[in-house]
Structure formats: C-alpha cells, structure tokens
Amino acid sequence: MTKLSVNINKIATLRNARGGNMPDVAKAALDCESFGAEGITVHPRPDERHIRYSDVREIRPLLKTEFNIEGNPTGKFIDLVCEVVPEQVTLVPDAADAVTSDAGWDTVKNRDFLSDVCRTFKSKGIRTSIFIGADPAMAEGAAACGCDRVELYTGPYAAGYRSDRDSAIAPFIAAAEAARGCGLGINAGHDLSLENLEFFIKSIPWTAEVSIGHAVICDALYMGLGNAIREYLKRVHCI
C-alpha cells in the first residue's frame, strides 16, 4: 500500500514570516501524524527560509512514523542527516536559491558523486532515494549509484493532467517500470493534488510513497488540516 508523507515546509514558511513560534512546527508534525499521515517530510535549504536545521533536530525524536529528509547533499546537509539518522533521505539537486525543486538528477553524469553519497548514508542504515525525472535511463543510472529508491519528479505530470492525463502519465509508467526492473522502490512528489493523485496511484500501483506538502497546506486553509490529510489518504489508498 502506498504511504502518504506530509511535507511540513509550508508550515515553517508561515512561522518564519512573522517570527516567534506560531505555528509550532513540531506540534504540526505530530498533528499530521495524529490525523493519519504515514510519514513526515522536511526539506531544509541552506538559507533556512522554511525548515531550519534546528527543526530537524527537534522533530526527529518526537516522530512515531517515518521521517524523510530531502535536500541537496552538500557537506552541511550530509552531516545533518548522519547526525539525526532518519528512516529515509532523498537526494535533490536544488540550487541554493531554488524556489522549489524543479528537476531531477542526471544520474549518469553524476554517478560517482551520487554513489559516494549513497554509500555514506547506507553505512548509517538510512534508506536512500534519488530524485529523478520520468526517464528510464535516469532510473537505471540511479540503480547503478546504489540507492534504494527513486522519487519521480511529478511536476510535468501535474501540468499535463487536465489536458491529457493518459499522455501525461505515460513517461512516468515507463520510468517506474524501469526502476522496478532494477530492483528500486518508487516514490513520487511535486504538484500532486486531490485532483490528480488517485489517477497516478492507480496507474503506478506499486508506488511506495508520495510526498505532498504545498497542496495539502493549501487545501487545509479551507478544509482544516485533519480533513485535508484524510482526503489525501483516500486518494493514496484508492486501490
């Protein structure tokens, strides 16, 4: 069964906009769990404009579900992950000034680097996932790096969903099949929503995990956080 990991970055963005500790990011993470989230995702960036490194350290011992830390594996990021030892780390090739993740790794060109990073994290017993586009060659390249999973960057799927959802999902099925053929687990994330999530899961039913943040928080403004998470869980558990 696919699991829902809720990304709480946007909650931290709201807190940071005013200063202080409202909303309380750690409490929000625990509330997400209590509402049914099967994991919590954070993506600390170098400027700490949303999740701070101190948040990661505070949240880690509190969680009862799976903790997933996303980020560009710079030295500081690697040190943080090795310190707190989450269940999963997701390697994302973000530039320091990136507004949001908008591309996956070229796992062929970056094979040596990614292989070294995977070895470092796996030596700590941390499941390692590499963020890639919907390209079978990148899935095969990720497998050669020694990771456990890939996370498919689903921005293009979401962009094309309304106009032609079958065409939009086709490259993702191909990439997911290639990854599965290499023995990799499949995660997915970026712009997945209540509108397009169920079709994705039904099309790639072996998806292990989806990580969703922005859409969950946007829906929560109208539905409440608990109701929003429960609605996402219905789509995730649609099969």
Residue 214 is assigned to a ligand binding site: yes
Residue 7 is assigned to a ligand binding site: yes
Catalytic residue among 70, 140, 198, 231: 70
Distance of CA 54 to the CA centre of its chain: 20
Residue 50 is assigned to a ligand binding site: yes
Residue 213 is assigned to a ligand binding site: yes
Catalytic residue among 33, 38, 151, 190: 190
Residue 47 is assigned to a ligand binding site: no
Residue 45 is assigned to a ligand binding site: yes
Residue type present at position 94 = D
Residue 119 is assigned to a ligand binding site: no
- Assess whether 38 carries a catalytic annotation: no
Residue 164 is assigned to a ligand binding site: no
- Assess whether 237 carries a catalytic annotation: no
Catalytic residue among 33, 38, 43, 209: 43
Binding residues for 3-amino-2-oxopropyl phosphate: 7, 18, 191, 213-214
Residues known to be catalytic? 43, 70, 190
| Binding-site annotation, residues for 1-deoxy-D-xylulose 5-phosphate | 45, 50, 100
